[in-house]
Structure formats: C-alpha cells, structure tokens
Amino acid sequence: MTDIQRVFLSLMAGLFTLSLAAPSVQAQGAKPAGASTLASEIDKLAAAVEPELLEWRRYLHQRPELSNRELETAKYIADRLKSFGLEPKTAVARTGVVAILKGGRPGPAVALRADMDGLPVREEVDVPFASKVSSKYDGQDVGVMHACGHDTHMAILLATARILTRVQDRLPGTVTFIFQPAEEGAPANERPAGAELMVKEGVLANPKVEAIFGLHVFANVPAGHLTYRSGSFMAAADTFEIIVKGRQTHGSMPWRGVDPVLVGSQIVTALQTIVSRSVDITRAPAVVTVGQFQAGVRFNIIPDTARLVGTIRTFDEQVQNDIHARIKRIAEGIASGAGATVEVTITKNNPITSNDAALTARMLPTLERVAPGKVRESELITGAEDYAFYQKQVPGLFFFLGITPAAEVGRAPANHSPFFFVDESALLTGVRALAHLTADYLSTAAAR
C-alpha cells in the first residue's frame, strides 16, 4: 500500500467516525429542513408590512382608551384581523379580542399576546400623532396616553398576524393571537380583569396552548435590542392599605386625642426597616413603598383617621408572605402603643413574571438570529406585568424590546412618563421576533 493510499483510507475512516458521533441537526434543536426558507419568507413579509405597522401604531397612539374601556380599540383590531382572513372573537374578558390561525399542517398550539389599554397620563411628546384624548379616572379629569407602549404592542402583533396568515399553509400547528385589555389594572369593582380574566375565560384552553410568547417595549434599552431573563424576571406586585383610627381633637390640645397622623408617620418610617433589616436581599430584592398618605381637612384639627396606601414588590413567594405578615405586625404594634387601632388590607395583584427556563434556552437562538449582537440578559425588573397569569398556566417567554435612540440611553423618560418616546425603527425587530419565535417553535415541535 502506497503512502497516498494510507492517507486516503485514514481520512475516510475519520469522516466515517465523525458521521457516527455527530448528532443530527434536528437533535441539536436547529431548524428542520425547509425552515430556513420559511424564515427568509417571514423576513421579506416583515419588510413589506412595515409601512402598515407604523400606520397602525400611530392610529392607535392617537386614540388611547383606559382599562376595560378599549371599545374602539377592539373594533379597530377586529377589523384588521378580519381583513387578514381571520375570524376574531370580541368581548373576551370584557373588551379583549382573540383570533385563531390554524396552520396547514398538524402541530402544537402557541399563543402570542399584546395588551391594549392606555394610562391616565397627559401626553407631552411633540409628535404629529400625539394623543389629545381626555377622560375620567378615579373621579378626576385626566389626559389619556399610551405611555407604556401598548399601542406598539398591538401594532406589532397585528403585523405578526398579517405575516403568519401569509405563510399559513406552511405552519405545522395553531396560533392564538391574544389582544388583552386592562393590563394596567381595572377599578376594584371590575376585577378580576386583564390577563387573569382572559385565562378564566379559556383563551389558553381551546385550542390547548403549549407555550406563550410576549414582549414589552422598554425605555433606556437601545432601539432594536432585546433583553430577557430566565426564571424570575419581573416582580410580583401587591397593594396594601392601612387605615389608622385615632381620636379627633383640636390641634392646640393634642393630649385630648390620639393623633393618627403621628401614628401613620411612625408606621411609614418603621415599614422601611422591613427591607433594610428583615429581608435577606442576597436571595432576592424586595421593595415596600408608601405612595399615599391621606389625613385631615384643616391645619388646626387633628383628624380621626389617616390612610396609607402602598405597593410591595417581591421575587420570591416566601419573602412575599413574610413581608405581608411584617406589615400587619408593625402597623398593629405601633398603633397599639399609641392608643390607636388599625385596619390592614393587603391585596395580591400580579404574580411574579417568570420565564420558563427550558423554553427560554430553546428559543434564545431565535432571538439571537433576529437581533445578532443585540441580545443580552436583563437584570431583575421591579415593575410588574399581568402576563404572569398566562405563565402560571403554560410555559412562557416574555422579553423586552428596546425603543430608545442610542444617544438617549440612560436619560430617556421611563415608561409611564408623559414624555415617553418610542423610536419606531425598533418595531420591526419586535415583529420579526414574534413571527420567528412562532415559526421556529412550531417547526421544531412538529419535527420532534
């Protein structure tokens, strides 16, 4: 045997060994055959839909509606979905809209969610499509603005629906498009609302959804960048109310009464020791904030009562329960020592938004393909999201889409500000992210 023959046989043996050892593309979780063609088609359709994406966003931005009052918003969304060939169901969870797209091949069901409601904020952004809407909120005359970007979420999901209906015959599975009202919170007499009510009314049940995806635009993340976090991502949000009952007296004779203002002030101060001295912040952060202190009507009258209202933010259920108990114990102890009484009410609102670890790991390559070099892990976010109610039912992935121009990062007005500004160049990245997450999940699930 010549040297050339030996080299040839050695090379062939090595290639044969590698072919046996290497896992298949499908086993590695890569896109199955034909998926790259579908991905290319999605990107072409995304580029084509961008003008409408901006038109829809600006129309909705000019016409915000408060939680559970999104009637015209719902009609606009339903009309667009009908124009795509879908049959939307309206009045879900009061004003929500749901549409189902059945793919051309059998496969699992996934859901995509956008929220719909605006905020009682008077817009101060100088754009031609700024909101001039006014309404009533909690008995007050207020401006109404999409100050948290829900207009962009709706436009992004409409564009995603338009794209996926165009490739319907190639989708192995079903997609549920969820347009959800009242994410910002409904009046107490209208609860449950939002995502919680959507779940109760069965939006994940028929068809039975296997996974859910959602996004939120976020200020001070560069436009077009994506941030995510596996596991706990956004905080649980609870509300507490403390009614302090003292005894009214003239301000010049405080010894004849029990001052609820003083007792309330001591409670506010003592509550700050919960996080600073009682919570193990090496495990997870927590926040206890008193945002309202109401008492009295006149400068020289010590009133009968004072009212404190605040928020609790936690990332761990054990810590959450411990903080609840401490608030009650501190308020009652201080009041008792001063001869007053208290009524403490704690209401659980949104659970912890927690991304399923396996789903996040599986879909991260898709996000990185959509925004190469622009995907990073997020810090914990003490804001809250009722998207968590979906995640308590099925595995979910929720991520942020940056919408701040690079030069403004770190100093741009935050979500909920009257100066909240969206760099619209980022929106197409959101569309591509949702469309590719859907196609990749369905394709790989069908391949398995």
Residues labelled as active-site residues: 117, 183
Q: For tokens 């008995």, what's the residue?
A: 139
281 touches 345 (CB < 8 A): no
Instruction: Report the candidate in 97, 227, 219 with the shortest Cα–Cα distance to residue 147.
Output: 219
C-alpha–C-alpha distance, residues 435 and 111, integer Å: 11
Q: Report the DSSP pairing between strands 172-180 and 231-234.
A: unpaired
Q: What three-state secondary structure class fits 111?
A: strand
Our CA dihedral for 138, 140, 145, 146, rounded to 10 degrees, sits at -10
Q: Which residues, other chains included, contact 146 with Cβ-Cβ below 8 Å and sequence gap of 6+?
A: 60, 61, 64, 118, 119, 131, 152
Q: Dig out the tokens for 301 from the structure.
A: 């009258």
C-alpha–C-alpha distance, residues 197 and 74, integer Å: 16
C-alpha–C-alpha distance, residues 180 and 113, integer Å: 7
268 touches 293 (CB < 8 A): yes
389 touches 269 (CB < 8 A): no
Per the rule left: phi > 0, alpha: psi between -120 and 50, beta: everything else, 225 is: beta
428 touches 47 (CB < 8 A): yes
Q: For tokens 């903080």, what's the residue?
A: 323
C-alpha–C-alpha distance, residues 289 and 41, integer Å: 49
Q: Report the DSSP pairing between strands 211-222 and 105-115.
A: parallel
Instruction: Report the candidate in 161, 128, 190 with the shortest Cα–Cα distance to residue 42.
Output: 161
Please provide the DSSP assignment of 54-78 as one string: HHHHHHHHHS---TT--HHHHHHHH
Instruction: Report the candidate in 183, 203, 208 with the shortest Cα–Cα distance to residue 194.
Output: 183
Q: Dig out the tokens for 11 from the structure.
A: 């090379």
Instruction: Report the candidate in 348, 347, 389 with the shortest Cα–Cα distance to residue 196.
Output: 389
C-alpha–C-alpha distance, residues 165 and 112, integer Å: 14
